Structures are given as structure tokens and as C-alpha cells.
Chains A and B, each alone.
Chain A
Amino acid sequence: MAIKLKELSHRESRVAPGHRACAGCGSIIAIKEVLMAVEQPVVISFATGCLEVATTIFPYSAWRVPYIHCAFENSAAVMSGVEAAYLSLKKQGKLPGESGNKDIKFIAFGGDGGTYDIGFQALSGAMERGHDMLYVCYDNQAYMNTGIQRSGSTPRGAATSTSPAGRVIPGKTQFRKDLTKIMAAHDIPYVAQSTPDRWRDLMTKVQKAMEIKGPKFLNILSSCFRGWRCEPQESLEVTNLAVETRFWPLYEVENGKWKLNYKPKKHVPIEEWMKLQRRFQHILKPQNKHLLEEIQRDIDRRWDELLFLCGEEAGPKPEQS
């Protein structure tokens, strides 16, 4: 069913105004879209991180849905407990109020630090156990809440507080972990990635996930203008370019079947994405041309692999090569 914003506009945002996220925060847009797409009652958990901090400064909470934060590495484990409690209380007829008659959805959220790194074990365990929940990673590619330190999701070359672009070392030296693929390898019913600027894609995926019983994983590339060193109003444009440059392909894996959701019409070089972000400015300097080429080769290789998995024809190649 197609998403119609006019119809949706009758719904109240489940994220109330008055939260303390930065002006132009890309991640909170992502979360707002996720919750806007869910029609059913929903209970959410959060890993420690920017959004957890920004939305629940006591005595104020921006969450119009039941919400729990416990610690950094355990959003998935906490939600396992909530879901198990629901199953147990439901079968015993002990759910409070009207809750017993409702089909409640469970969504666990975490940033890339809380998902790729410190929370990875809890996520992997929860997915393996088959809890009926959606895990959503809002991936802004570094530990933004603690001051922009590198994470397992930070792309090669990016300058962060702990992988600065120095005189000798040009930013992060390792490539990022491909978490979406790792989650697909868990062989769970639904795995997808999206971005908040592609709101129709994102919300359709969430709605699809809500219709599927069992563990689901959605990885959302969402920008942090502070960490990416771009402008707040560019929060959505910058993730749009991540899709166009094929850095962040839109795809889904449903019951083991890979599907590409969007194929850019032309080969947009990765530097177009990097140009918007000063965390990559050193990579664009002539002396680091070899690095840029290496990064481009990596993106091309991953894209070709994805096309193969999705049963797609090879796409357009770089013009000069």
C-alpha cells in the first residue's frame, strides 16, 4: 500500500516537540518516520546515545509511546524482555487495561555505536532467538553523543575525534563493517536499509516489517551535521547523495530473497558525497588521490556484489575507466 502523506497527516507525531536534539538532526527525522509508519500500538527501547539523551531529559520526555532506556549495549536485550513479558502476560490474561486486546509492536533503537559495536552481541542474540521485534539502527557513522569518535560504522578516510586527519594518518584507516549484510546472514525474515530523505522507501519498509512476525532489522543511514561537518539544512540532501553514489544502496532481504529498491541512473563518483562533508576534506586533496580511488574501488566492488545478490544486471560504470 502506497504511503500518502495527506492521509498520514491526521496522525500525531509520536515524537513530541520540545526535545533537545540539535536543530536539523537527521537521526530524529529517521525515528519520527519509523514511528509515523507504524499504525499499531508500539513500545520502544533505546540504547544510550544522542537521541536517548536529547529526548528524555528529566522531567521531560518527548515519547508519546511507552519507552525504556536501560544502558548502551542492551537495547535489543531489554526489548527481548519486554516482548517476552507481553507474550507471558497475554497468554495468562494479565495485560493491564485495554492492552490485552491489542496487537502491540516492539521496536528497539540504537545508534551505530550501540548497534555495530557495543550492542552487537545483544542484537545478534535477540535476532537469533526470534523475538517478534524490529531493531532499527540509526547509523550516523560515529559516536556523536560522546564527541564524534570513530565506530565500526565510520567509513574509511573519515576524520573523527579519535581518527583525526593528521600529518601522517589521514583519518580512519579501516573500512566500515557491513552490518546490514551481517544481519542478513542471521537468516531472519526481514532485513533492509534505507535513509530518511527516501521517506517513502523507509516508511514502506517499516510497514512491511510490521506485517512480518519474528525478528526484523532496519539500518538507516542518518546524518549528523556536527560529525559529518556539513550544514544542518543539508541533513537530508547528504544522505540522498549517499544513495546516489551507491555508498548506501537501498535494498531489502525478505525471507532470504535480496531485492534492490533503487538503482541510480548514472555512476555518481563518491567524491560528490564527500564534497558536502568536511570530515572528508583531506581525502579530496591531490596527495590523497590514491585513497579516494581505493574508496571508490571498494564501493564499486560492494555494489557489484549487491547487484549479484539481487539478481540485477551490472549498472553503469565510471565514465573514464
Chain B
Amino acid sequence: MSKVLPLTGNEAGAEAMRQIAPDVVAAYPITPQTELMHRFADYVADGVVPTELILVESEHSAMSACVGASAAGARVMTATSSQGMALMWEILYIAAALRQPIVMPLVNRALSAPINIHCDHSDSMGARDTGWIQLYCENCQEVYDNVVQAVKIAEDKDVLLPVMVCYDGFILSHTVERVEVLEDHEVKEFIGPYVADRPLLDLDHPVTYGPLDLQDYYFEHKRQEAEAMRNCKPVIQRVAGEYELLSGRKYGPFDEYFTQDAEHIMVCLGSAAGTAKAAVDELRDAGEKVGLLKLRVFRPFPAEELIAALSHAKGIAVMDRADGVNSIGGPVFSEIRAAVYGHSSAKISNYIYGLGGRDIDIDMMKSVFQDMKDGKYAEQAYYIGVRE
């Protein structure tokens, strides 16, 4: 039995956290993540959750405390945005490499400078190689669903990697939507109890965490981590299947929207997918063979599945809400192009959009499809929505 609530993205994240009831949460305030923690702090203050909430003095310490608590044997969560995650950077790698299944809602916000509090993906895209699993959300329902699934993915014995659930700052975090939530007991049974692997607090077996690993062992440990990321794929799929049985909502590595017979396919992630779907609807009504592929899982990168879904297209336009500042294009583009290389004769171009919260509308999305129809492709990214 599920119920429907009017929730913002942050409230949907907080609702999922209430039901997960993590043992420890460590957090530091940053816009636009703040309201998630306000609501969660209410749950702690009211004794609704047994969580120890550590209100640290920086995000660096937030992630450090999460690593300590997770190693100790606790189920652990935090949440952050932008500069906050940038300050965590060093510890993001350590959390993943120490194989701590921490779950973190990441409310996407542009990185300074200039300082800006609105959405783009420069924060999470910069962290794409930290060893964290990354799930992206289109709407508040997906925020809720992905946070719940993230716990089960992270804690799988074949995975044991941290997960960030990325959703667009303000666009989702502060927008009220209709969200179906599960019953508390359903979430509890779905995620199950957390049994840590050789926790620090097991006094009978004193374990050393985080030793110095030199030329003779470091490579082997990194190889293990790479394998864990590979192992994620079937686990994410299995968890999605179980979640569908419970919720009736279907999840995969990505969503396909009229792609199967499409000549021109747009790839995007996050809330812009909703706008892109509206553009596809209008163009389909006009008889154009266009489609949208919305990425949900960016890490592990679903290359094989993407090849199967994209290789028939004549043209692919990849939308990036983060600039690689590398004179070529954004991170999603680089990876999609690398994945389909040798598997498709499709032409691929890249659009950088929405930096610092700049809106993208249906007409802009349609203009991207028009470019493909006109055979307009470029080696370097196009900037869409910026004043020339």
C-alpha cells in the first residue's frame, strides 16, 4: 500500500531517509540541500528515528565522520551540494576505496566562481571518477525511489560502494510534486538490516582500516574497487526489479522515450528530461522520428546497454549541464561518444546548457532536434541558452 504526498525533492529525500532511519547522519548546511536536513533534524528531535545526527563544522568533516561511522558498522547517510561536495572531494575517494556503503543525496548546484546557488551538474560530474555510484533523478518521485534503492545497492555484498543520488537544485529540491511513498514497514523490509563487513566496533576482531598501501598492494585494491563497480550493474537491475514489484514503478540504467524507431535521439539526464519529452511529443505529433534517452545511472556507465539503444540512430545530441572546459565538450558527451565508437555510424554532437540554473525550454530542445535534421553537427560543443 502506498500513499500520495505533496513533497518537494528535498522533502522526498527526507521522507526516504526517515523510513530508512540510518544509524548515523553527519551533515553541514549548504543551499539548496538545507531543507532536507531541516526536515530530517525534526525527525531526530522528535525521536521518530534512532539516528545520531552529527552537525559537523564542515563538509570535509561530514564525509570524514560518515567514513568513521560506516567503518564502525553503522548505516550512514549525509547530503550536500556544490561547494560542499567540493570540500568533501578528498574523502569521497576514501569512502569509496574503503568500501563504505554511504548514501548521499546530492542536490546539484553550480560550482563557484562566480558563486551561484542554482542548478547545474558541475558538482556531481566532477566527482564521476571518485568510485561513487551515481543515480540521476528527473522528478521528485525519482528522488524518493532512488534514495530507497540506493541503500540496497550500496550495501550489496558484491558492491559495497557509496551512492550519490543526484537531483537538480531548486528545480526539484524546492518544487512540490505528487510523490507516492511506500509504507514504513515496506521500506524497512525492502532494505533489510545492515550487517557490516568486519566493523571497527567488533572488539573481538581488531581490524586495521586505511593502512599504507604501497607499490606491492595498492594496484590490487584498486582493481577490486573497479570490479565492485562492474558488479553494480546486475545488482542495480535486480534491486530495480524488486522495487518494481513493491512500487509498480520501473527503473533501469536509463529510460527510453520513443527511441526505438527514432532517427535522431537526444541524451540527457536530470530534470531537463521532462522538457525534452515535451519537445519529443510535439515533434512526434508533427511526424518526426525523434526520441529521448534519459540516463539514470551514470556510474557504473551503462555502455553496452547504450550501444544497443543508440546505435541505430542517424544522429545523437548529448546534453550536458556541466562544461568540461576542455575545448571539446561535456562529460556525458565524452562518454557517450566513446561508448558508441565503432558500434554506430551516428553523428554525435554536444550541447552545453543550463549552467548556473539558466532555464532550458521546449523550443530550445526542439532546436537541438532541428540541428540534427539539418545535418548540423560540430566537433566542439554548442552552447545553448547563453547570450552571444
Contact = CB atoms under 8 A, between A and B. Distances in A.
Given A58-B214, A65-B206, A94-B23, A79 B68 contact: yes
B54 A84 contact: yes
B330 interface: no
B68 A85 contact: yes
A59 B91 contact: no
B68 A63 contact: no
Interface in A259-316: none
A78 B94 CA distance: 12
A66 B211 contact: no
A61 B211 CA distance: 8
A122 B71 contact: no
Interface string A113-132: 00000000110111011000
Interface stretch (A95-103, A149-157, A198-206, A244-252): A95-103
B73 interface: yes
Contacts of B98: 70
Contacts, number: 180
Contact of A81 (B58, B66, B216): B66
A57 B68 contact: no
B26 A125 contact: no
A59 B196 CA distance: 21
Of the listed residues B70, B71, B74, B211, the one surrounded by the most CB atoms of chain A closer than 10 A to its CB is B211
A89 B211 contact: no
Interface stretch (B12-20, B197-205, B236-244): B197-205
A78 B200 contact: no
Contacts of A94: 23, 73
A79 B94 CA distance: 15
B68 A82 contact: yes
A242 B324 CA distance: 55
Contact of B64 (A71, A88, A96): A71
Given A80-B54, A81-B24, A57 B203 contact: no
Nearest to B211: A56
A125 B201 contact: no
Given A81-B65, A85-B52, A53 B212 contact: yes
B64 A77 contact: yes
A88 B203 contact: no
Contacts of A41: 203
A182 to B, nearest CB: 15
B64 to A, nearest CB: 4
Contact of A129 (B54, B58, B74, B206): B54
A99 B201 CA distance: 7
B56 A77 contact: yes
B235 interface: no
B304 to A, nearest CB: 34
B55 to A, nearest CB: 7
B67 interface: yes
Interface in A191-239: none
Interface residues of A, number: 51
B90 interface: yes
A88 B24 contact: yes
B67 A78 contact: yes
A55 B199 CA distance: 20
A321 interface: no
A97 B214 contact: no
B70 A81 contact: yes
Of the listed residues B60, B74, B98, B214, the one surrounded by the most CB atoms of chain A closer than 10 A to its CB is B74
A98 B23 contact: no
A61 B73 CA distance: 20
B208 A77 contact: no
Contacts of B61: 74, 76-77, 80, 121-122, 125-126
Nearest to A90: B201
B234 to A, nearest CB: 29
A96 B67 contact: no
A87 interface: yes
A98 B202 CA distance: 8
A57 B214 contact: yes
A33 B213 CA distance: 27
Contacts of A128: 57
Contacts of A57: 211-212, 214
Interface string B50-87: 11101111101100111111111110100000000000
A86 B208 CA distance: 17
B342 interface: no
A58 B54 contact: no
A125 B58 CA distance: 9
10 residue pairs, one from A and one from B, having the closest CB atoms: A81-B68, A125-B57, A81-B65, A85-B72, A81-B69, A56-B211, A77-B61, A74-B64, A85-B74, A77-B64
Interface of B: 23-24, 26, 50-52, 54-58, 60-61, 64-74, 76, 90-91, 94, 98, 196, 199-204, 206-214, 216-217
